[in-house]
Amino acid sequence: MGVVLGVVFGPDWRSAPNDTRVRASSRPAPTAERAPSPLQRVLEAAPAGDPTDREELWAALQDETEARERMEEEIAALGEELAELRDGRSTPDAGQGTKAADRELESGRPWFDTDGLIAAGVDPVEVGELRERFEKIELARLYLRDLALREGWMGTQRYRDESRALDARFEAIREELGPEAYDRLLFAIGRRNRARVRDLLEEAPAREAGMQPGDVILSYDGRRVFSISELRRLTTEGQARARVEVVVDRKGKTVKLYIPRGPLGARLVPTRRAPLE
């Protein structure tokens, strides 16, 4: 199970019902005559004279889209882990300095993996600072959920607004810390922080540029990559088909590839790796 970048996620994928999605191999090629997506139809049906309602509707649909993307990535990762356990294979992180991740499968994942982060070579003082900032945001999320349930506004626009504000605080941490420290934070809280290539189409641009199954994507066009959804956004920015540098980790070695901007034609799965040194 995985996520196909540029194959499964077509223009209307995000708003399509689950039971209407098909595998990439059987999905018809996109055409210019494609009907409007459900998202487009809903927005077009909104009253033209009430921009406020349209903006709120758009924000709600965007929230649902992002939540669905995160769920798809989690499902892909869990499917990969289950397949490896069923086949008796080691985890994708084996041999990559992530023994703490292996312990999590046996005893349950810690909320903040202090020991694993220190074992990865992060200074204990920095670990303590990261933990303090993370816990403040997590406590705020718990109190928000508790208050919304008590007062009956869970799932409302108010809840979405306040939840987005907490998301913004977490993103602000990323901007303040920089990519290296942010990578350490993701690792410490047990989040998957890499996109790993599971397979590629035979004529995929990424394969033609030298990408291989097992490659772990580190950056795209000079920007660090921590998730599949983030990588997908980067492939749609800038000039289409302009060659960009993509840095991957291949069995512990850094490899630079030059790939046309756009769909990679790769099936990706989220994975968790030790922070880069």
Q: Check residue 29 and give its pLDDT.
A: 41
Q: Are 164 and 225 contained in the same domain? A: no
Looking at residue 35, the DSSP 8-state letter turns out to be P
Q: Are 173 and 217 contained in the same domain? A: no
Q: Check residue 176 and give its pLDDT.
A: 85
The helix (run of H) or strand (run of E) holding residue 255 is strand 253-260
Q: Check residue 96 and give its pLDDT.
A: 38
Decide: helix, strand or coil at residue 82: helix
The answer to whether residue 102 is domain-embedded is: no
Q: Are 165 and 209 contained in the same domain? A: no
Q: Beta 243-250 vs 253-260: how paired, if at all?
A: antiparallel
Q: Are 260 and 243 in contact (CB under 8 A)?
A: yes
Give the domain-ending residue among 137, 159, 188.
Answer: 188
Q: Check residue 66 and give its pLDDT.
A: 62
Q: Are 62 and 125 contained in the same domain? A: no
Give the domain-ending residue among 136, 153, 188.
Answer: 188
Distance separating alpha carbons of residues 6 and 25, to the nearest angstrom: 13
* pTM tops 0.85: no
What would the pLDDT profile of 53-97 be if each residue is shown by its tens digit? 666 666 666 666 666 666 666 666 566 556 555 655 444 343 333
Q: Are 210 and 174 contained in the same domain? A: no
pLDDT at 131 over 80: yes
The number of angstroms, rounded, from the C-alpha of 136 to the middle of its chain's C-alpha atoms is 23
Range of the domain at 259: 194-271
- Please give the mean pLDDT across all residues of the chain: 77
Give the domain-ending residue among 130, 154, 188.
Answer: 188
Q: Are 39 and 61 in contact (CB under 8 A)?
A: yes
Domain tally for the chain? 3
The answer to whether residue 182 is domain-embedded is: yes
What would the pLDDT profile of 154-213 be if each residue is shown by its tens digit? 989 899 999 999 989 988 888 888 899 899 999 999 889 999 999 999 999 999 999 999
Confidence of residue 51 (pLDDT cuts 50, 70, 90): low
The number of angstroms, rounded, from the C-alpha of 21 to the middle of its chain's C-alpha atoms is 20
Q: Check residue 255 and give its pLDDT.
A: 98
Q: Are 7 and 68 contained in the same domain? A: yes
